[in-house]
Chain A
């Protein structure tokens, strides 16, 4: 799937990004939202799809003041609130993207109605979901091998929420003047 064309052209990542980004496990996020699992165990990692050594593109978003990285392979669209309309679960091309209250799940405050709020449409195989984020920062590229595991001291359910952590060197910030999937 491709990012919906014409929604917006994402800007270059800001140079003041946090130096550590947390990579969300989109697969688990979507499948644990009550979506049909279609035979794939939620513990199965999507990181096995791409070669760990090859760069993968991540959409960097903020939720509250947390920086999160979403694998672009799981993203099939970005909507403004206006584009989404007055619905709880956005529907695009007849596909319903069930709303996932990520802020509630992560227990972080989130201005979900701010001017920069965006709705990220996620899809993993046939499972779909949508997440409201505070801002969209842009894209960064990292090899999957660069994702560090979450320290073991994080022992709660968050271990299932995150792929791991990305150490962000500001010099590695790459531009993203084009859309996902292009």
Chain B
């Protein structure tokens, strides 16, 4: 499900991060790949009434229930595409799921604070 955005440069490995670049509402965002636990098709979420900002639903993946962080809403954006993706990220409190655009994320390298 991923495509590589750049050739890997081994000599820069110590000073670089591998990033996953994805889109939400057409806006490009990135997360360290080490903080990504998976990407899959977005399945219907189950709303859970609560008052935690932007955490208003869960998705089920087998016997695991993941809370959904509504990243699009937090950015005042709307997820684009008819087949959105589910980005699962690691979080200190446990894995979370986010609905992202259907555009396939790409892998990229960030060096010295800049993305290449």
Contact = CB atoms under 8 A, between A and B. Distances in A.
B65 interface: yes
A174 interface: no
Contacts of B96: 151, 153
Nearest to B92: A152
Q: How large is the interface on A (under 10, 10 to 19, 20 to 34, 35 or more residues)?
A: 20 to 34
Interface string B30-67: 00000000000000001111111001001010010111
Contact of B65 (A106, A162, A165): A165
Given A19-B60, A153-B91, A153-B94, A158 B47 contact: no
Q: Which of A153, A157, A158 has the most CB of B within 10 A?
A: A153
A66 B65 CA distance: 16
A20 interface: yes
Chain B interface residue bracket vs A: 10 to 19
A176 interface: no
Nearest to A149: B65
Contacts of B112: none
Nearest to A165: B65
- Counting chain A CB atoms within 10 Å of each CB, the highest count among B51, B93, B96 belongs to B51
Nearest to A108: B49
Of B46, B69, B96, the most chain A CB neighbours within 10 A belong to: B46
Contact of A20 (B46, B50, B51, B55): B46
Nearest to A164: B65
A153 B52 contact: yes
Interface in B67-107: 67, 69, 91, 93-94, 96
A145 to B, nearest CB: 13
Among B49, B58, B93, the most chain A Cβ lie within 10 Å of the Cβ of B49
Interface string A158-182: 1001100101000000000000000
A84 interface: no
B47 A167 contact: no
A155 interface: yes
A20 B47 CA distance: 10
Contact of A158 (B49, B66, B91): B49
A39 interface: no
Contacts of B48: 22, 66, 150, 154, 158, 162, 165
Contacts of A155: 52, 55
A149 to B, nearest CB: 9
Given A19-B60, A20-B60, A148 B65 contact: yes
18 contacts: A18-B46, A22-B48, A63-B49, A65-B47, A66-B48, A67-B46, A148-B65, A151-B65, A151-B94, A153-B94, A154-B50, A154-B55, A154-B67, A155-B52, A156-B50, A158-B50, A162-B48, A167-B60
